[in-house]
Chains A and B, each alone.
Chain A
Amino acid sequence: MAVIEAEHLSKRFGKKVLAVDDVTFSIRAGAVTGFLGPNGAGKTTTLRMILDLVKPSAGSVRILGQRYRDIPRPATRVGALLDSSGFHPGRSGRNALRVVAAGAGLPDTRVEEALTMVELEGAARRAVKGYSTGMKQRLALACALLGDPEVLLLDEPANGLDPEGIRWLRTFLRARAAEGRTILISSHVLAEVEQTVDDVLIISKGKLLAQGAIGELTRTAQPVVRARSPQAEKLEALLTARGAAVNRLDTALAIRGPASAEVGEVAQANGVVLHELFTEVPSLEDLFLEIAGTRREL
């Protein structure tokens, strides 16, 4: 069952900027979906259209089968982290959450639970202006969790987090996913979400380039054979003559086309010494770069 369904969704700001261009996708229930793309790809605009904060120029989007604004008490069904700067600087962390909870018709007990979940209870009385970026990000996450929602939309949640914070976030998201929640998480740092997501949507320059289960997409991605040789130039020429795509930097080669066994055989047949030869399993980043057509080897 699809939790979020977008059909031919477009958003144009003014006459010149087409932020989202005819995007159609669906997000399945209970999955963690990575919404991936470089900065300015249209991820945030798409998320804001899902949440009725930005009006689509064309197309439609439904969440839980209806428009966000039609969901009764939406904070209890959908939680969103959009912008960690969306808090009044003079308000304490606890009061920032209490304001949102009150508006959503939630009891103050949920505020304390959310603060505990994001491990901010010790700083809850401090004004938000004294928070670090990471703390603001956790506060924004607490906001998203206030209503104990079944769907979470997280826009660049790792922004501003240190490595420890990123690890904490990853563990946190895995725990939420294990509870069966649907999570849509946008990021431009692919390594951050690679270990967390089940499905991916890949967007670039407003256009959706790919969607599907991450396992299927990486399987279809072409593997890269890495080789290192003191006769790299000779090996490059031999492989290129056989139709392989080869990039060379000094003694290192990145080869697309032939399998590693074939590369080894070519080297052996032509007396080329190899110091290293292995097949690299495509990462999410490789997949993204391949799909987006912006790969620069080595």
Chain B
Amino acid sequence: MISLLRAEFLKLRSTRTSLGLGIAVLLVSLVPTVLLIAFIPTHLLNGGELGAGATLVTYIVLVFGILGMTNEYRHGTITYTYLATPRRARVMVAKLIVYGSTGALAMLAALLVAQLVGVIGLPMRGVSYHVPGGGALADYARQIGVAGLVTCFGVALGAFLRAQVVTVAGVLIWALLVEPLIVAFKPGVGTWLPFNVFGQVTSSTLATDAGNVAAHSGLARPEAFLVSVAYIAVVSVAAVVVSMSRDVT
């Protein structure tokens, strides 16, 4: 498994996908935070704006996870991947670990960049910067964890569906349009839908921005976490089962 993890990390480092991820994360953590600090009236600046880009980062790592698997099919590299490791479930596990941890690291980097903007920008508006306390840190930790989970979900969906454009477009339409509508009109159902569940692990990422009205009255955080893991596990197992009977032509 160590060699497989090495291979997956090397795949990440040796193409521009990871560079694209880095640039995207940097942009979405910088731009909203800078704009909010620059234009919000000073009496409203309370440090909450420093996590403004977190939602976008979550969507970026979701797409990053999807690309991690679908790129293998798009470029045909899956043939060499399976020749080196014919046990397809092991490939899936390695991808989940590598992409999940990279997604979490991307969120950590985004939050650190936002804090850096706060350190520099808030005093310029005459507002003092406060190092995040226990509650904020716990919220950040949850955001990092959710980013890892969402990336894993992307990997699993990519493995299951394979077609890159269809998967990216379909998942984004579902997450940004369909699911919020279901949550709005059928909150009882919406509480259990995947992106809403991810959002319920931390109330400051997907759920609130997706117009989720049930996030705070739905699942408790531990339950939401378990349901998130269950979603990833179910889609991953389905992807492995399908991939084992799927021909690589």
Contact = CB atoms under 8 A, between A and B. Distances in A.
B9 to A, nearest CB: 8
A173 B196 CA distance: 58
A69 B249 contact: no
Interface string B11-32: 1001110000000000000000
A103 interface: yes
Given A86-B80, A88-B75, A103-B81, A48 B247 contact: yes
Contact of B80 (A45, A54, A100): A100
Interface in B23-79: 71, 75-77, 79
Given A48-B248, A54-B249, A99 B11 contact: yes
A91 B72 CA distance: 13
B170 interface: no
B86 A68 contact: yes
A68 B82 CA distance: 11
Interface residues of A, number: 33
Nearest to B79: A86
Contacts of B7: 99-100, 102-103
Contact of A98 (B4, B14, B16): B14
B116 to A, nearest CB: 30
Interface residues of B, number: 26
A90 B245 CA distance: 30
A45 B248 CA distance: 10
Given A68-B86, A88-B71, A95-B10, A102 B3 contact: yes
A10 B143 CA distance: 51
Contacts of B76: 83, 85-87
**Interface of B: prevailing SS:** helix
Interface in A25-79: 45, 48, 51-55, 68-69, 71, 74-75
B79 A88 contact: no
A83 B79 contact: yes
Contacts of B87: 69
A42 B10 CA distance: 35
A286 to B, nearest CB: 32
A55 B247 CA distance: 6
B3 A88 contact: no
A95 B75 contact: no
Contact of B83 (A51, A85, A89, A95): A51
A99 to B, nearest CB: 5
A99 B10 contact: yes
Interface of B: 3-4, 6-7, 10-11, 14-16, 71, 75-77, 79-87, 245, 247-249
28 contacts: A48-B248, A48-B249, A52-B86, A53-B83, A54-B248, A69-B86, A74-B84, A74-B86, A75-B83, A80-B83, A82-B79, A83-B76, A83-B79, A86-B77, A86-B80, A88-B75, A91-B14, A92-B14, A98-B10, A99-B10, A99-B77, A102-B7, A102-B10, A103-B7, A103-B84, A104-B3, A104-B85, A143-B80
